[in-house]
Structure 1
């Protein structure tokens, strides 16, 4: 029996371990933290550290949690030994030959495109699935449905793409490129290059949607082995474009822009990408348009929370970098009271300065709170997000927008961005109800 090593026992690691066990491997699962062994019967578990004895074995397959850097000593040992290190995406892909993928990566907009695509695929077939960086390990889907022929909307981080070798989507896109994850990657160029692995194994009749408005994509998206669908929000001399109040794929009208419920021009672009991907995967134009009319957005991405005394309050906790925060700020006209801050990812906040006139006041919190003093001319540093909201609501007037758009990751004060968003919504909903 061939042996497989899974490093990292978070949700995706456990799913990969169980899938490999089902596929007939002798599986070893190890983590630096304690592992709940429920459901891991038949799997060798080593927790609260990686024993050196694990280095003595030969493994047919090594799978790493995408959040663990390749520079971690235990992982680095196998890299230096010449072992390929995969993520559970690659593992699951190999064990589900009947799945067809619409794959989405990029710095921002991934979740919106993925969710829209999933809603469209469900119109074609209720059995369609969504997985990946959106929160559901692909291995979990394959454990249950690996023998079926299914369409899957798959969101991929660059961490997940780094560990792929054969992964092959039918249609894919890189939504945009902006500085991010410089606390993990060794350079900005390596981060951008890692995104391009999404089309590396594609064939001539597959599609790659290329955002020609993004100069970094145009710089890094090269040697594309499949059909390129050029996309633009500003040009009409491309394949996927906007004209006369509608989104078009060549001469085919995909949907009327006025039917979109999600705010911001960038969200129109997200919808156009999703519609194009759905069309390639066989969804009818009527079904695409029905989803466009009914879709109200993704939780935690410019999510309307509440109106209080004429003040609209939005949760954009998913904006974990400046590019995403800029996109959120661009969706509003004026009088934005911005709540931002969090863990320092060592990226510049310079892009935010262009919205100084639009930001009525910035209340920054967390590890990076002081870094916003040089960004906005009207700025106050506080310790916590709750303090930031408390001060924002005191100065807010009818017509103002209070926007949580942190431009930073959450890990200084919260488990993840979702927890940050849930806590924020709780604070907002409880305000004034004592």
Structure 2
């Protein structure tokens, strides 16, 4: 099916688009330009929508805004925004009446004419997705990047060629109702996350499995052999399951042997590069590269991979060196919105660090974070709704002694960053690695990271 075919299938139907955000705005404009009857629903008020509301109405869109934005929802086809559960009563009632529930990304899978490579996981998604996309580009491929990064791709599907590659980062929210899987799937790792939205860990894991559940026997799925959940998932892959591991040699996939990153396939193996070729710090980035190599094996020459790894400085907000100020290095790791991400960040440094942590409560346990902070942190600056929970996890950790690390609660956020600065000595590392989402004080992790960078870059020498 082409995008044109799909639009024609909507010609005599009513469509509701829930969430007037980044991914759905181009979709709305496309449907309205084609004369499709569309209702756009958003919990923001008309005042909050501003000129966007007027723009959509001028295009012929009916708007349902504000607290009751889902009241009287009725349509033949419903496009769900990723952050909204598919079983909210208003949507469930519509589906019971025969409505088709879908999303911008789900339709893209139906109409995309080229090879799709998609990445999910609790940590490492964006970096791994970026590495895969950039490696393909460096090998001369035409690449489209979308999902959680890049930009919405559905409206561009008719411009894609069969020889292109679409590289996507997919969240559990996008995957919850997905009925299609990519040609090449990557699951970086799985650990508790987003339990403020998912009912429990089982639902979260089940959502992630949709990235490979609907594959054919000809497709490929790449899994982390060192993660218990993903290792178990690999045994259920319908197609070819490839593994990557820092700890063990795998029969089909990529592994670390000493410093060598080795790719094994069909009984043959070769050294692709060494861990020392990777410019960005941290063992988790060795894992990200191994996952990417397993995904692009046969598509990208090894020398291209080596050359890229030596030059690629990483993705913004991911252990990003902001500046060295008075002998102290400041890192922006705002993407670390879960304990496992913060743990990976802490393990990237050889010295004990000054850690700024805390934020919105996603109801994730911090028990695993406590011992890591005791081992890797000299001063912990807490700020945000989860400060007390993180403090308790540290103080209850084995090996904790009062003052080791020293723990300070400082609000607001600017004061927390300044407190870290005031206590830092030349040679120290200060890292913003919150282990929490940003929603208690910021719109998202990117806004938090940019604000952190603006504070640090604003200091005069």
Q: Same fold (TM over 0.5)?
A: yes
Counterpart of 2:383 (choices 356, 365, 380) is 365
Task: Output the CA distance in 2 between the equivalents of 1:67 and 1:199.
Answer: 21
Equivalent position to 2:12, from 2, 22, 27: 2
Q: Distance in 2 between matches of 1:20 and 1:395?
A: 56
- TM-score under structure 1 length normalisation: 0.92
Q: Cα deviation per residue 1:4-55 (whole Å; 9 max; x = unaligned)?
A: 2211111112223334456774433222223514377655231314364542
Identify unmatched segments of 5+ residues in structure 2: 1-10, 395-404
Which of the residues 397, 407, 418 maps onto 2:435? 407
Distance 1:222 1:186, change over 3 A: farther
Distance in 2 (alpha carbons) for counterparts of 1:138 and 1:228: 27
Hey, what does 2:347 align to over in structure 1? 330
Aligned to 1:276: 294
> Are the counterparts in 1 of residues 115 and 162 from structure 2 also a CA contact under 8 Å?
no
State the shift of 1:275 in Å: 2.1
Q: Select 2:425's aligned residue among 394, 397, 403.
A: 397
Q: Would you say the 8 A contact 1:335–1:399 is kept in 2?
A: no
Does the 8 Å contact 2:86/2:177 carry over to 1? Answer: no
Q: Does 1:296 align with 2:317?
A: no
**RMSD value, Cα:** 2.2
* Counterpart for residue 67 of structure 1: 83
Relative to the length of structure 2, the TM-score reads 0.87
Residue 374 (structure 1) aligns with: 392
Q: Does 1:130 align with 2:140?
A: no
Matched, 1:101 2:116: yes
Whole-Å separation in 2 of the counterparts to 1:22 and 1:277: 38
Residue deviations 1:208-248, cap 9 Å, x none?
11211001223344421110112111111432111252212
Tell me how many residue pairs correspond in the alignment. Answer: 426
Equivalent residue number for residue 192 of structure 2: 179
Give matches, 1:48-63, under 5 Å. Answer: 48-49=65-66, 50=69, 52-55=71-74, 57=75, 59=76, 61-63=77-79
- Paired residue secondary structure (2:101): coil
- 1:17 paired residue number: 28
Distance in 2 of aligned mates of 1:420 and 1:185: 24
1:31 partnered with 2:42 = yes
- 1:257 Cα deviation after fit: 1.8
- Shift in Å, 1:422: 0.4
Instruction: Report Cα offsets for 1:112-139 as digits up to 9, x if no partner.
Output: 0011111111123463111101252232
Partner SS for 2:86: coil
Partner of residue 161, structure 1? 175
SS in 1 for 2:310: helix
Return the alpha-carbon distance in structure 2 between the equivalents of residues 17 and 277 of structure 1: 33
- Between stretches 246-255 and 406-415, larger displacement belongs to 246-255
Q: Which runs of 5+ in 1 are unaligned?
A: none
